[in-house]
């Protein structure tokens, strides 16, 4: 089953990897941050090797965002994300694993889960049962 793992972070210091920009990470020693990066790189390598990590990308800062809404046939475009939020979508990973539990386990291993918010969501149509996806 396929899952999208969405990583949310505060845009105050928009740089990647986002987890290194969190105040808690900035308070760590350089050695601790290097270890965290090494752990993250090792996790990504392992997940890719076993086929659970399909892909992923980091996103640019929310300031580079455009929000488009069409009302009565007229498009309206605004700069930035439409919603007011302290955290914005920073990037994503696409996983292919056996269960929601496994996808959640992987999400909890991401450094971003320690300093921000990580959401796990099944992709529609990626399982044999729509009922598993709340439909």
Q: What is the pLDDT of residues 34-92, one digit of tens each?
A: 999 999 999 999 999 999 999 999 988 888 888 888 999 999 888 876 566 677 888 99
80-130 residue pLDDT tens? 765 666 778 889 999 999 999 999 999 999 999 988 889 999 999 876 444
The CATH number that applies at residue 64 is 3.30.70.1060
For residue 57, tell me if it sits in a domain.
Answer: yes
Look at the pTM and tell me if it is higher than 0.85: no
For residue 133, tell me if it sits in a domain.
Answer: no
For residue 135, tell me if it sits in a domain.
Answer: no
For residue 44, tell me if it sits in a domain.
Answer: yes
For residue 131, tell me if it sits in a domain.
Answer: no
For residue 132, tell me if it sits in a domain.
Answer: no
Q: Return the ∠ at Cα 112 (arms to 108 and 114), rounded to 5°.
A: 65
DSSP structure string for 26-64: HTS-HHHHHHHHHHHHHHHHHHHHTT-EEEEEE---GGG
Residue 63 sits in which domain range? 2-126
**Structure tokens that stand for 75 in this block:** 């498009």
For residue 134, tell me if it sits in a domain.
Answer: no
CA distances from 24 to 52, 106, 127 (A): 29, 21, 38
Number of domains in the chain: 1
């Amino acid at each position: 089953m396929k899952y999208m793992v969405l990583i949310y972070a505060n845009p105050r210091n928009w740089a990647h990897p986002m987890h290194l920009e969190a105040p808690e990470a900035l308070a760590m020693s350089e050695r601790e941050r290097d270890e965290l990066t090494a752990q993250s790189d090792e996790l990504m390598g392992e997940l890719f090797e076993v086929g659970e990590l399909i892909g992923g990308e980091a996103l640019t800062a929310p300031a580079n965002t455009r929000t488009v809404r069409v009302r009565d046939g007229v498009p309206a475009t605004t700069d930035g994300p439409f919603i007011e939020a302290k955290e914005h979508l920073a990037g994503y990973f696409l996983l292919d694993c056996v269960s929601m539990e496994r996808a959640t386990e992987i999400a909890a291993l991401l450094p971003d889960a320690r300093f921000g918010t990580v959401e796990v969501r099944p992709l529609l149509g990626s399982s044999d049962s729509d009922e598993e996806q709340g439909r």
